[in-house]
Amino acid sequence: MAPSDAPSASSQPSASSPVVILNPGGNRGHAARLRPALERALAGGRGELVLTRTPAEAADRVRAAALAGRGVVAVGGDGTVAVVANALLAAGAPVPLGIVPAGNGNDYACETVHLPRDPLAALEIALTGTPVAMDVGMVNGRYFLNSLGVGIDANIAAAAEDLKRVPFLHGQALYWASSLRELLLHYDRCPELRITLDGQPDESHLYALVAVNLGPTAGGGFKINPGADPHDGLLDVCIIWKPPLLRALQLLPMVEKGTHITQPEVKRTRVRMIELTSIKPVYAHLDGEVITAASFDARILPGALRVRQAT
The pLDDT tens digits of the residues spanning 126-171 come to: 999 999 999 999 999 999 999 999 998 888 888 777 676 676 666 6
105 vs 184 pLDDT, higher one: 184
Q: Does residue 23 surpass a pLDDT of 90? A: no
- In the chain, where does the domain assigned CATH 3.40.50.10330 lie? 3-128
> What letters, b where the CB count within 10 A reaches 16 and e where it falls short, cover 66-77?
beeebbbbbbbb
Assigned CATH for 3-128:
3.40.50.10330
Going by pLDDT thresholds of 50, 70 and 90, the confidence category of residue 303 is: very high
- In the chain, where does the domain assigned CATH 2.60.200.40 lie? 147-301
Lowest mean pLDDT among 34-38, 69-73, 101-105, 288-292: 101-105
Going by pLDDT thresholds of 50, 70 and 90, the confidence category of residue 173 is: confident
Q: What is the pLDDT of residue 136?
A: 98
Q: What is the pLDDT of residue 21?
A: 97
Q: Which of 252, 275, 271, 149 is nearest to 204 (CA)?
A: 275
Assigned CATH for 147-301:
2.60.200.40
Tens of pLDDT, residue by residue over 48-61, are: 999 999 999 999 99
- Average pLDDT taken over every residue of the chain: 90
